Structure 1
Amino acid sequence: MELRPGREAVVRVAVATLWSSPEAVRAVDRPALSACTDIPAWVSGLDTDQQVGDCVLSQLLLGERVFLSELRPDGWARVVAVEQPAAKLDPRGYPGWLPADQLAPVDPTVAGNPLVVDATVVDLRATPDGPVVLPGVVVGTRLVPAGPTREGWQPVHVPGHAAPLWLPDGQLAPAPSEQPTAVAALAVAQRLLHVSYVWGGLSAHGIDCSGLVHLAWRRFGVLLPRDADDQAVATTPLPFGAERPGDLYFFARPGRKIHHIGIVTAAPGDHGTRRMLHACYRRRRVVEEPLPAERTATLVGVHRV
């Protein structure tokens, strides 16, 4: 099988980065561009300005489906991330570019009920407790079992690998069959406290504000849109004061579209004080904090998934 435009493909690296164009990448982005990405090394090499560069659009997780629309001779692929709704950009999903060698053709022989990675970060190994083959797989990644567990280890099918890879069974969970609670999604997001802020980031290695919300709910099979303004459209408004942990705060400046989102971590206090967990652009990391005055001034809505 080979990659062909007009067909679906799947991500074969732990975390792939979706770029605005091949020409937009920088020298510092090299660890995110290879066929064996090293996203932690990439994030650690970014300075505070590079963390918010708009060359990064989003990220995709191992096994995530894309529609392949173009293959360039220089090895770049234009794709649509069909599991990341972005109605204002493309009705099919989030469009962008990534290196074609980070993709694999869809294998029609791989089928079954997927398991979801529940560990914040886990490595996939060649054998139970054997050498690491694919490091840095993150929470929310879906993997199809390749057989029964063995001594506490689960074999899984992995795109681009002929033989199954292995990870501890305790770091996986069954794919949910029911709508999760907001508190469960909040608990996933809380595990990412102090993770670096990266514009377009969507992993436990680096993440942005809407990525944190998307990933927390994706862990439970709920595919919210990728961007904050679209997430507001896809969720249910509440009156101020009715919010509870796991609900969402939205922020916008007067006359502008929504630019920021956070997850409610406590019911409002007696004097209207509010707390949230969010990937903070200003502090360049995920924080949990009371809303400062400048945030409260731009708070325009509270919603529930």
Structure 2
Amino acid sequence: MGMTLDAGRNAVVRVAVATLWASPETTRAVDAPALADRTDIPAWISAMNRDQQVGECVLSQLLLGERVLVEEVRADGWARVVAVEQPAAKLDPRGYPGWLPTAQLSPAPRETPPAQPLVVDATTTSLHADPAGELVLDGVILGTRLLPAGPARDGWRPVHAPGHRQPLWTPDGHLVPVSTRPPTADEVLAMASRLRDVVYIWGGVSAYGVDCSGLVHLAWRRFGVRLPRDADDQADATTPLLLGAERPGDLYFFARPGRPIHHIGIVTAAPDSPDRRRMLHACYTQRRVIEEPLSADRAATLVGAHRV
């Protein structure tokens, strides 16, 4: 595993997708593929039943190379961390707190190579030892940032990957430079629409499974915009609009009377009347990402439209 992790120091995720847990003790037998030294998120999701897909033991997910602040390292192979790239103001001003297996982390490099980062634009990709060579890391997902390790060769690009001394190779067409301008609403909506029919997973932030706020976080993250992780924090971090002024790419927020915001969706059509609104969202009841008109219940709990 290389160098050891130290409390008070930064670390980076060394697996394609790491799951952030409420505590080590809340994990279940079905979670084994997500707890492994080399995670298999598709196998984990396919093994879960409907109830397990919404277990509140899962808080969020982190992508390859994502930074965390290590708070505590336990002898049983767990680290208490703060996911500093996922704002969660109500939980911790530094980021999203939770637990990760230590084997899924590497100490953060002391210096970052001076290179323009790349971002994965394919829904999923894989990293190889050589161009078209041995598979080293599968399931690297949309929105993952990677630093180039040299020029492309034969359609493959070498990149630095946490936990690997030598550069790994990925198809060059799966990468794009990180944008230096804010994305348009249409670009973000098109990105989120690529995740239609992805399974609903409580806490999910990947192309294999997302929850409602995870879909929003991931869509903007692909363009380098760091939105908070949870829906209520996303509401606080965005600009309210008059209902009726929303346009595709804006956000709808939902809450029951006297309760905090519990759901979020991405506006997909300008409303042509107050009762004709549409959105793309990770739907808890249907357990997948869908685009649909607001149901009567959704319309009754709509508390606002916001713009990023």
TM-score of the two chains, using structure 1 as the length reference: 0.99
1:154 to 147, 154, 157: 157
Question: Which stretch shifts more, 97-106 or 126-135?
Answer: 126-135
1:167 to 138, 151, 170: 170
Q: Secondary structure at the match of 1:240?
A: coil
1:65 to 64, 67, 75: 67
Rounded to whole Å, the distance in 1 between the matches of 2:92 and 2:110 is 26
* Paired residues for 1:166-185 under 5 Å: 166-185=169-188
Rounded to whole Å, the distance in 2 between the matches of 1:42 and 1:98 is 16
Rounded to whole Å, the distance in 1 between the matches of 2:182 and 2:193 is 19
- Structure 1: state its 5+ residue gaps: none
* Paired residues for 1:86-101 under 5 Å: 86-101=88-103
Rounded to whole Å, the distance in 2 between the matches of 1:230 and 1:109 is 31
User: 1:92 Cα deviation (Å)?
Assistant: 0.3
Which residue matches 1:293?
296
Contact kept? 2:275, 2:299, Cα under 8 Å = no
The one-character-per-residue Cα deviations of 1:114-148 (angstroms, maximum 9, x if unpaired) are 10000011111111111211000000000000111
Rounded to whole Å, the distance in 2 between the matches of 1:270 and 1:103 is 50
- Structure 2: state its 5+ residue gaps: none
Q: Secondary structure at the match of 1:297?
A: helix
Which residue matches 2:10?
8
* Paired residues for 1:127-142 under 5 Å: 127-142=130-145
Question: Which stretch shifts more, 265-274 or 85-94?
Answer: 265-274
* Paired residues for 1:22-41 under 5 Å: 22-41=24-43
Q: Which amino acid aligns with 2:291?
A: E
Rounded to whole Å, the distance in 2 between the matches of 1:230 and 1:247 is 16
User: 1:182 Cα deviation (Å)?
Assistant: 1.3
The sequence identity of aligned pairs, in percent, is 71
List 4+ stretches of structure 1 deviating above 6 A: none
Which residue matches 1:50?
52
CA RMSD of superposed structures (Å): 0.8
Q: Which amino acid aligns with 1:115?
A: L
Q: Secondary structure at the match of 2:276?
A: coil
Are 1:192 and 2:195 matched, yes or no?
A: yes
Contact kept? 1:69, 1:77, Cα under 8 Å = yes
Q: Secondary structure at the match of 1:268?
A: strand
Rounded to whole Å, the distance in 2 between the matches of 1:268 and 1:181 is 19
Rounded to whole Å, the distance in 2 between the matches of 1:52 and 1:62 is 23
1:227 to 206, 227, 230: 230
Q: Which amino acid aligns with 2:48?
A: L
User: 1:271 Cα deviation (Å)?
Assistant: 5.7
Question: Which stretch shifts more, 72-81 or 162-171?
Answer: 162-171
Q: Secondary structure at the match of 2:68?
A: strand
Question: Which stretch shifts more, 73-82 or 182-191?
Answer: 182-191
The number of equivalent residue pairs is: 305
2:110 to 108, 115, 122: 108
Are 1:242 and 2:245 matched, yes or no?
A: yes
Q: Secondary structure at the match of 2:258?
A: coil
Contact kept? 1:110, 1:157, Cα under 8 Å = no
TM-score of the two chains, using structure 2 as the length reference: 0.98
Question: Which stretch shifts more, 164-173 or 211-220?
Answer: 164-173
1:119 to 115, 122, 128: 122
Contact kept? 1:16, 1:102, Cα under 8 Å = yes
Q: Which amino acid aligns with 2:97?
A: P
